[in-house]
């Protein structure tokens, strides 16, 4: 790890904490972050040549695996054709038509460069469309680093919030109300007291940024019903779940139609792409048709457009979502057996999984996560590294499967992860 440590020391001199996103810092893992130089399929190669089976998959975009050959051909051809135009081109049109022809609740859309940008823009549309200012979000859901959504539950009035980041004004934080997941009574109280102020209710229908908090359909239906009753818009943040749990995302699975939806990650096939879309009359509020301004120099970058379309076309052709569900179920069964008697249990939804403290019922709210979870995870993470397995370097991040993860590889990794869990539970 000598070369790796040298790179980190250099990086700390030029970047805050030596990283360009805090979750890459290995904070709490008691080691320097690993620097990687290459990847293919399910493998990451570190700068020192060590290879790891990757379950982070760049935090979700790589549903086909690293450098899928079909996607790679599209990318290489586009790079030889043009990098960016700052003008209209046919590549974003092809991807937009593919999505709108298959996802009924996306009548129109706008491509941007990240999930955060998509959510920020959708919030603006919602406020313009309703003439209201308040946003309602849920504790345990993450919507990017938008100022008004980097808030946590406060105290006192129903839904009162406080900033969860320095640099956000109290006034900005006060525009956001915060509810608890899996709590119909608390949600109804907020709507009863503040409902006519709420422009939009933003929720991850499959919360997967603070653990994997699988919600009951009944609760999510209540969210939708109350939003409609009080004249608020419903925004599904499917940056993670979109095109991962199924072609139509959680909206299709739940049979709940949001007014607005945000996508990212898989949509770009490994390149920086985001998108917000929804009902045509709402999207037509966006410039140049409407008065909601939003623009971006690299929006709908042609490389990302072609990578994203190639990814989605391949998933559809292979019925990849059904196959990932099958592999995920087998992996969950094997891993659950291997983790028995250790401080860990696995929760899974489709191709997403999360290791957490053993519980007798599903974890649906962050208050149900054991305070010792992070303490147990750090040595387990390092033990997995010793066995050639790379997980996201944070106890609250989920793991991702891809079509590159074969049944044989998953069975092998389940055994190794069980070994890691047993080794660290004895220390």
Can you state the angle between helices 407-425 and 320-339, rounded to 10 degrees? 30
Domains of the chain: 2-67+319-425 (3.90.1150.10), 69-317 (3.40.640.10)
- Which residues 6+ apart lie within 8 Å of 225 measured at CB? none
- Greatest pairwise CA separation for the chain in angstroms: 63
State pLDDT tens for residues 388-398: 999 999 999 99
Mean pLDDT calculated for residue range 28-42:
95
Q: Are 365 and 210 in contact (CB under 8 A)?
A: no
Give φ, ψ of 261 to 5 degrees. -140, 150
Bond into 288 cis (ω within 30): yes
pLDDT band at 165 (very low <50, low <70, confident <90, very high): confident
Q: Minimal CA–CA distance to 244: which of 212, 280, 283?
A: 212
State pLDDT tens for residues 147-162: 888 888 654 445 566 7
Q: Are 352 and 399 in contact (CB under 8 A)?
A: yes
State the chain's mean pLDDT as an integer.
95
Q: How many CB atoms lie within 10 A of CB 328?
A: 19
pTM score: 0.95
Query: DSSP character for 268?
Result: G
Annotated active-site positions, please? 142, 237, 265
The tokens for 312 are 């989605």
Task: State the pLDDT at residue 213.
Answer: 98
Answer yes or no: is pLDDT of 418 > 90: yes
State pLDDT tens for residues 314-348: 999 999 999 999 999 999 999 999 999 999 999 99
Task: State the pLDDT at residue 156.
Answer: 46
- How many whole angstroms separate alpha carbon 62 and alpha carbon 68? 9
Write down the residue that tokens 């049979």 correspond to: 255
Task: State the pLDDT at residue 374.
Answer: 87
State pLDDT tens for residues 70-104: 999 999 999 999 999 999 999 999 999 999 999 99
User: In which element (H, E) is residue 252 found?
Assistant: helix 249-254
């Amino acid at each position: 790890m000598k070369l790796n440590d040298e790179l980190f020391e250099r990086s700390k001199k030029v970047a805050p904490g030596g990283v360009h996103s805090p979750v890459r810092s290995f904070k709490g893992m008691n080691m320097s972050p690993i620097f990687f130089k290459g990847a293919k399929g399910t493998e990451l190669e570190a700068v020192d040549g060590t290879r790891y089976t990757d379950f982070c998959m760049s935090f979700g975009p790589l549903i086909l695996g690293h450098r899928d050959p079909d996607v790679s051909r599209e990318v290489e051809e586009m790079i030889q054709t043009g990098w960016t135009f700052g003008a209209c081109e046919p590549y974003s049109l092809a991807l937009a038509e593919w999505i709108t022809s298959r996802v009924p609740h996306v009548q129109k859309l706008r491509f941007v460069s990240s999930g955060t940008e998509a959510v920020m823009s959708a919030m603006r549309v919602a406020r313009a469309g309703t003439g209201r200012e308040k946003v309602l979000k849920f504790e345990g859901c993450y919507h990017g680093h938008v100022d008004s959504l980097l808030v946590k539950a406060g105290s006192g009035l129903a839904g009162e919030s406080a900033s969860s980041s320095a640099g956000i004004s109290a006034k900005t934080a006060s525009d956001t109300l915060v509810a608890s997941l899996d709590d119909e009574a608390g949600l109804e109280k907020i709507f009863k007291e503040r409902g006519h102020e709420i422009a939009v209710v933003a929720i991850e229908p499959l919360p997967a940024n603070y653990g994997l908090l699988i919600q009951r359909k009944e609760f999510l239906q209540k969210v939708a019903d109350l939003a409609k009753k009080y004249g608020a818009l419903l925004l599904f943040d499917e940056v993670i779940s979109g095109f991962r749990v199924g072609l139509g995302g959680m909206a299709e699975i739940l049979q709940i139609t949001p007014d607005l939806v945000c996508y990212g990650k898989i949509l770009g096939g490994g390149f920086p792409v985001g998108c917000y879309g929804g009902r045509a009359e709402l999207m037509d509020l966006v410039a140049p048709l409407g008065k909601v301004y939003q623009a971006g120099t690299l929006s709908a970058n042609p490389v990302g457009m072609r990578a994203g379309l190639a990814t989605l076309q391949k998933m559809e052709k292979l019925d990849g979502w059904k196959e990932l569900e099958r592999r995920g179920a087998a992996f969950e069964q094997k891993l659950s057996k291997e983790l028995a008697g250790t401080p860990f249990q696995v929760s899974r939804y489709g191709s997403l999984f999360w290791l957490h403290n053993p519980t007798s019922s599903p974890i649906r709210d962050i208050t149900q996560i054991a305070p010792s979870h992070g303490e147990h995870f750090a040595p387990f993470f390092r033990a997995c590294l010793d066995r050639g397995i790379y997980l996201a370097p944070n106890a609250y991040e989920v793991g991702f499967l891809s079509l590159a993860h074969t049944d044989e590889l998953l069975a092998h990794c389940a055994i190794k992860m069980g070994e890691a869990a047993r080794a660290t539970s004895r220390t």
